[in-house]
């Protein structure tokens, strides 16, 4: 690294990438940000960071930033730079025209987990109060919406149960459908440290992820399942616990609903749920399942960490409930060192869900049909609010193709790259009359937009992010907005132009409103965040300084509820034409759709998506390492470079989705979770064929 000398001042802020939410000091020389240094006092990272966060400053000043609003009549037309005043007035008049022509519910908004809590809150308020519809959704739809649903059903709260520090008290760690080394690197380091101290490890994953065998760490059990069979494996684990006398009877009797538990015990005890009966379907040896279940149930404090390999399935919500069932059945919940811990992909997935950016829920996960809750928002916001759930993202696409959904405001999301079945998404965008993209860069979605509003990076605004452990941390303005307005100000201007009064002078006032209207946030303020460093919600009268561990004396819903988790195989099956199963994930140096990390030095480590395949599958197809491979599914086709790896199992291939050129989501399908519509990114039947240069 170049020696940049002593900084003149530093600003403490929060990384805008993954759900660990590391605290950084942004070190300044004059008005120039010279480096990001992990904050020793950071309560999520304790002075550590990864290569993403360290170099995150690169994209904020990248030459690709668009800093002038632009409009165009048709998507084939060139962009016309305009003033902010013209752009905002155009958005408002277009959305009013669409609502007058096609009805109030013909428009909607999508917000992002990359936005602050305050920005996300304002987008849903704009849609509900100024547009008068509940057609608002968030990118959590396509990642952790099953977590929200599954944990609410079983435990009563749509959030993880522990803080990250808790892992230091775990004796057994079960990691399912997550690859912390690449996805959550700072947490992974703490986890590995605990494993080196002697904690035992169970990994459930189709690939031999780094955690399975890494210096001084070796998993006791790696259940290398077939993609799409999580629920079958979880049921098999539950079968062993229920039939081998491994249930914590005292915990269940005291803390859980008896009749639901009795039904669950009978259900998982059926012979069809035994490891032996499910071995052929899951590909996991029955003895391995039995041994893993015994270790989880009897090894002391047992903690479960899971990721998108659990949620992004047609049974994502079922799998989340299956995980909660295991924790309740063995009493591994409600104290330090145990629990159910979703590793959120993006920095503010938890926050974007908390802030009510789902079409059926106000902030704090309260249904729009709840009269008392709705009236409290009507009083505060001064307008009548709609009482029926609005459209989810996939429903918006369907409605656009039906001709009933015409206008979409998208803040901070690149749905044309991140959402499944790209052709379907782009057809829907093309069918709309006014697509507004608010972003840092002209992303893939902007190709289908009629208005582009420049976004602001996390370094240019104040706000808060909420990480995977429910920790609310301050985002502090390091530099002036490159495009005049921070994102929350642009949203506010649209509301005003639509005729709805919104007059916040600072994001702290937005947080004050959130706290006044959301029971789990009543004790949160910028003053307290500055004083305590961060706060884990619930933060209220009962827990004025926040709540590191949830469900200690009782579950949020009172008694824990066991849910039946019938395994239903995905309809996405292999056949002679598509004989391989494709699954997707992330790599350490890149973040999500790569819009940010691709514009940093991180490209040194990784500058393309590749297709990992097992040597057996490569041999069969005459594919050598580095060859170009055509990948075809029922949805579409793309070309990727081959990487032959014995981390894979025969019949399963893997890629990432960081680069638009490879377009992994061109091949993923529209299958989705039965409860939440979270896409089934993790299971796509494909064929792979050696091709010449693309």
Positions that interact with ligand SF4 (CB under 6 A) = 15, 17-18, 20-22, 45, 49-50, 52-53, 185-186
What whole-number distance in Å separates Cα of residue 476 and Cα of residue 473? 10
Cα 284–chain centre separation: 28
Smallest gap from residue 344 Cβ to ligand SF4 (A)? 10
What whole-number distance in Å separates Cα of residue 393 and Cα of residue 136? 8
316-329 and 145-154 are packed helices; what angle lies between their axes, rounded to 10 degrees? 40
- Helix (H) and strand (E) counts in the chain: 23, 28
Task: Give 569-606 as a DSSP string.
Answer: --S----SSS-EEEEEE--TT--TT-TTGGGSGGGGT-
* Cβ-based nearer residue to ligand SF4, 15 or 368: 15
What whole-number distance in Å separates Cα of residue 167 and Cα of residue 172? 9
Backbone angles phi, psi at 536, to 5 degrees: -95, 120
Structure tokens at 542: 């009962």
Smallest gap from residue 692 Cβ to ligand SF4 (A)? 37
Smallest gap from residue 20 Cβ to ligand SF4 (A)? 4
61, 79, 83, 85, 247 from 68: Cα distances, Å: 15, 11, 7, 11, 61
- Residues shown for the chain: 694
By DSSP bridging, strand 463-466 and strand 434-439 are unpaired
* Cβ-based nearer residue to ligand SF4, 18 or 393: 18
Smallest gap from residue 501 Cβ to ligand SF4 (A)? 36
* Cβ-based nearer residue to ligand SF4, 190 or 424: 190
Give the full edge-to-edge strand order of the sheet including 434-439: 80-81, 70-71, 451-454, 434-439, 407-411, 107-111, 136-138
The answer to whether 316 touches 310, Cβ cutoff 8 Å, is: yes
* Cβ-based nearer residue to ligand SF4, 17 or 485: 17
Smallest gap from residue 399 Cβ to ligand SF4 (A)? 35
Structure tokens at 562: 């066991």
* Cβ-based nearer residue to ligand SF4, 50 or 653: 50
CA-atom Rg of the chain in angstroms: 24
Smallest gap from residue 416 Cβ to ligand SF4 (A)? 24
Smallest gap from residue 354 Cβ to ligand SF4 (A)? 18
Smallest gap from residue 39 Cβ to ligand SF4 (A)? 11
The answer to whether 442 touches 595, Cβ cutoff 8 Å, is: no
* Cβ-based nearer residue to ligand SF4, 160 or 394: 160
* Cβ-based nearer residue to ligand SF4, 21 or 309: 21
Report the DSSP beta bridge partners of residue 18.
Answer: 346
Which residue carries 């460093």 as its tokens? 533
The answer to whether 344 touches 153, Cβ cutoff 8 Å, is: no
The answer to whether 648 touches 654, Cβ cutoff 8 Å, is: yes
Smallest gap from residue 17 Cβ to ligand SF4 (A)? 3
The answer to whether 651 touches 580, Cβ cutoff 8 Å, is: yes
What whole-number distance in Å separates Cα of residue 163 and Cα of residue 46? 13
* Cβ-based nearer residue to ligand SF4, 22 or 232: 22
58 Cβ neighbours under 8 A, 6+ residues apart: 599, 600, 601
Task: Give 182-251 as a DSSP string.
Answer: HHSHHHHHHHHHHHHTT-EEEEE-SS--GGGEETTEE-SEEE-PPTT-HHHHHHHHHHHHHHTT-S-HHH
* Cβ-based nearer residue to ligand SF4, 185 or 299: 185
Structure tokens at 491: 């949203």
Smallest gap from residue 18 Cβ to ligand SF4 (A)? 3
* Cβ-based nearer residue to ligand SF4, 193 or 689: 193
The answer to whether 292 touches 237, Cβ cutoff 8 Å, is: yes
125, 236, 281, 400 from 309: Cα distances, Å: 32, 18, 17, 30
CB closest to ligand SF4, residue no:
53
Smallest gap from residue 467 Cβ to ligand SF4 (A)? 8
26, 355, 366, 375, 386 from 372: Cα distances, Å: 44, 18, 10, 5, 13
Smallest gap from residue 184 Cβ to ligand SF4 (A)? 6
What whole-number distance in Å separates Cα of residue 231 and Cα of residue 249? 23
Smallest gap from residue 586 Cβ to ligand SF4 (A)? 10
* Cβ-based nearer residue to ligand SF4, 22 or 451: 22
* Cβ-based nearer residue to ligand SF4, 209 or 434: 209
* Dihedral over alpha carbons 634, 668, 651, 223 (to 10 degrees): -140
Smallest gap from residue 478 Cβ to ligand SF4 (A)? 15
Smallest gap from residue 377 Cβ to ligand SF4 (A)? 32
To which H or E segment does residue 685 belong? strand 684-691
What whole-number distance in Å separates Cα of residue 307 and Cα of residue 589? 18
* Cβ-based nearer residue to ligand SF4, 189 or 496: 189
């Amino acid at each position: 690294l170049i020696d940049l000398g002593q900084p003149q001042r530093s600003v403490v802020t929060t990384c805008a990438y993954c759900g660990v939410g590391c605290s950084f000091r942004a070190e300044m020389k004059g008005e120039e940000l010279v480096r990001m240094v992990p904050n020793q006092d950071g309560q999520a990272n304790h002075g550590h960071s990864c290569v993403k966060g360290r170099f995150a400053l690169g994209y904020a000043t990248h030459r690709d930033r668009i800093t002038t609003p632009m409009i165009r009549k048709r998507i084939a037309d060139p962009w016309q730079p305009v003033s902010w005043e013209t752009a905002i007035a155009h958005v408002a008049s277009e959305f009013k025209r669409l609502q007058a022509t096609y009805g109030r519910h013909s428009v909607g908004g999508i917000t992002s987990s990359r936005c602050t809590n305050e920005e996300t809150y304002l987008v849903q308020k704009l849609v509900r109060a100024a547009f008068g519809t509940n057609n608002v959704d968030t990118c959590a739809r396509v990642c952790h919406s099953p977590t929200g649903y599954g944990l609410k059903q079983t435990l009563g709260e749509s959030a993880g149960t522990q803080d990250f520090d808790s892992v230091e008290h775990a004796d057994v760690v079960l990691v399912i459908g997550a690859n912390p080394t690449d996805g959550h690197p700072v947490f992974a380091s703490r986890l590995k440290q605990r494993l080196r101290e002697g904690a035992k490890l169970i990994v459930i994953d189709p690939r031999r992820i780094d955690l399975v065998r890494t210096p001084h760490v070796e998993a006791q059990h790696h259940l290398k399942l077939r993609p799409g069979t999580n629920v079958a494996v979880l049921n098999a684990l539950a079968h062993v616990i229920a039939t081998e006398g491994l249930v914590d009877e005292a915990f269940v009797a005291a803390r859980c609903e008896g009749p639901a538990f009795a039904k669950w015990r009978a259900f998982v005890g059926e012979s069809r749920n035994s490891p032996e009966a499910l071995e052929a379907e899951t590909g996991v040896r029955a003895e391995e399942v039995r041994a893993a279940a015994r270790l989880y149930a009897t090894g002391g404090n047992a903690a479960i960490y899971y990721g998108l390999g659990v949620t992004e399935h047609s049974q994502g919500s079922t799998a989340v409930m299956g995980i909660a069932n295991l924790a309740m059945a063995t009493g591994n919940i409600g104290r330090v060192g145990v629990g159910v811990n979703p590793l959120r992909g993006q920095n503010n997935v938890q926050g974007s869900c908390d802030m009510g950016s789902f079409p059926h829920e106000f902030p704090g996960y309260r249904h729009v049909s709840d009269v008392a809750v709705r009236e409290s928002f009507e009083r505060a916001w001064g307008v009548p609010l709609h009482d029926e759930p609005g459209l989810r993202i996939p429903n918006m696409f369907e409605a656009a193709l039906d001709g009933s959904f015409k206008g979409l405001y998208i803040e901070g999301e690149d749905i044309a790259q991140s959402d499944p079945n790209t052709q379907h998404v782009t057809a829907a965008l093309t069918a709309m009359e006014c697509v507004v993209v608010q972003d840092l860069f002209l992303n893939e979605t902007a190709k289908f937009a009629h208005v582009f509003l420049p976004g602001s990076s996390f370094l240019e605004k104040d706000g808060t992010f909420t990480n995977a452990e429910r920790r609310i941390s301050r985002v502090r303005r390091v530099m002036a907005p490159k495009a005049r307005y921070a994102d929350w100000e642009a949203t506010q201007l649209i509301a005003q132009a639509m005729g709805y009064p919104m007059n916040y002078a600072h994001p702290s006032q937005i947080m004050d409103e959130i706290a006044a209207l959301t029971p789990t946030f009543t004790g949160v303020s910028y003053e307290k965040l500055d004083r305590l460093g961060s706060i884990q919600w619930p933060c209220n009268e009962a827990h004025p300084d926040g709540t590191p561990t949830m469900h200690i004396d009782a579950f949020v819903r009172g008694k824990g509820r066991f849910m039946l988790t019938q395994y239903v195989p995905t309809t996405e099956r292999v056949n002679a034409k598509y004989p391989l199963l494709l699954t997707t994930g992330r790599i350490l140096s890149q973040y999500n759709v790569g819009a940010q990390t691709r514009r940093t030095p991180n490209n040194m480590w990784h500058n393309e998506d590749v297709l990992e395949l097992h040597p057996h599958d490569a041999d069969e197809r005459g594919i050598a390492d580095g060859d170009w491979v055509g990948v075809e599914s029922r949805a579409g086709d793309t070309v990727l470079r081959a990487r032959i790896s014995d981390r894979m199992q025969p019949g399963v291939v893997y890629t990432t989705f960081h680069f638009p050129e490879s377009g992994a989501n061109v091949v993923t399908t529209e299958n989705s979770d039965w409860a939440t519509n979270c896409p089934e990114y993790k299971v796509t039947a494909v064929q792979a064929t050696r091709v010449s240069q693309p």
